[in-house]
Amino acid sequence: MNVEKPASPAPSRVMSGHRPTGRLHLGHLLGTLNTWVELSKTAETFFEVADLHAFTTAFDQPQQIRDAREDLILDWLAAGIDPARSTIFLQSAVPEITELHALLSMIVPVSWLQRVPTYKDQIEALGPEIATYGFLGYPLLQLCDIAVFRADLVPAGKDQLSHLELGREAVRRFNHLYGPALVEPQALLSEFPAVPGTDGRKMSKSYHNTIDIADDEATTTKKVRSYVTDPRKVRRNDPGRPEICPVFALHHSSNAARVPAIREACASGALGCVACKSELAETLNAMLRPARERRASIDRARVDQILRDGSAKAREVANATMRDVRRAMKLID
């Protein structure tokens, strides 16, 4: 007697992206990019060059946003994102995203958008001139990036959960009003490592304290030498406090096997900061070398082709979603 095997569950569909605002750095590699590479091995993945999102804070720099697109793709490919496995697309080349944003904006209360914690925080940090209609609607546009592909998983850190929860509420409201045309995305919580920059703060392009994927080895070494360290450890023989030192924190990412010995030697005063930084620069360069070699070998003419092919594929998926959305809202028969 033949026994039917149960159908295999459909692979998850994952959506994520970056704004084209400059070269990516070590923090991106250790956090999102390595996660994306792993997800692409088992899930259907869509990765977005979020150029429309970039206009919310850099609306007066259109050429800079356009120029940054190539660097972003090069960094993704260098990190191991494979366009044969993942759909890499340009947000502005998928107009279904902005159509869905317009439709959902009809049903999402302004109060939902205003309660997102980052809204007021970013206005205070970046200035009142960014408080535009588009900036207020940023979280809803993020939801549309996800919902138009019916992605069910979104890699997210804890600081991004408020955006995603607003998006989930919007999907629930749409499905309640019009029928279940959209998928409610779930957060794929990731413990992104806190990667310190050269000044001890979180590594960020905004702080100009980054080690970039595209940096050469000499530049990386120079940046590592500039790192702040324990202010109490002035001379080599002074006992250090590795638990507060950004240099020691970075050893965890590129030199994990040596971490216990470095901790002991720093705390006892046997290891000086100059030697510690030299070892870190060497191991960081070794870790980044494969990605940098891949980046240097990429034919830049491929970037436009990857975006064209990926955007065309993304539009096919988005069109299917929008047909159902339009039917649900009685916009078409």
AA identity, residue 33: L
Dihedral sign for Cα atoms in the order 84, 89, 95, 99? positive
Instruction: Please give the mean pLDDT across all residues of the chain.
Output: 93
Question: Residue 133, exposed/middle/buried by CB under 10 A (0-12, 13-18, 19+)?
Answer: exposed
Q: Which residue's structure tokens are 């406090």?
A: 241
> Can you give the pLDDT at residue 189?
82
Please report, rounded to a whole number, the percentage of residues in the chain having pLDDT higher than 90.
84
Tokens of 283: 């191991």
> Can you give the pLDDT at residue 192?
64
What is 215-295's CATH superfamily?
A: Tyrosyl-Transfer RNA Synthetase (1.10.240.10)
Residues 252 and 224: beta-carbon distance below 8 Å: no
Please report, in angstroms and rounded to a whole number, the separation of the first and last CA atoms in the chain.
47
Same fold, 13-195+300-328 and 215-295: no
CA 259 to chain centre: 27
> Can you give the pLDDT at residue 124?
85
185 pLDDT more than 90: yes
231 pLDDT more than 80: yes
Task: Show Cβ contacts of residue 44 under 8 Å, excluding neighbours closer than 6 positions.
Answer: 11, 12, 13, 14
Domain extent listing, the chain: 13-195+300-328, 215-295
- The reply to whether CATH 3.40.50.620 applies to domain 13-195+300-328 is yes
9 pLDDT more than 60: no
Q: What is the DSSP letter of 84?
A: T
Q: How confident is the model at residue 4 (pLDDT cuts 50, 70, 90)?
A: very low
Tokens of 14: 């994952």
Q: How confident is the model at residue 311 (pLDDT cuts 50, 70, 90)?
A: very high
51 pLDDT more than 60: yes
Residue 110: enclosing H or E segment and its boundaries?
Answer: helix 110-114
**DSSP, residue by residue, 9-59:** PPPPEEEEEE--SS--BHHHIIIIIHHHHHHTTTSEEEEEE-HHHHHHHHT
Report the C-alpha gap between 69 and 51 in whole angstroms: 8
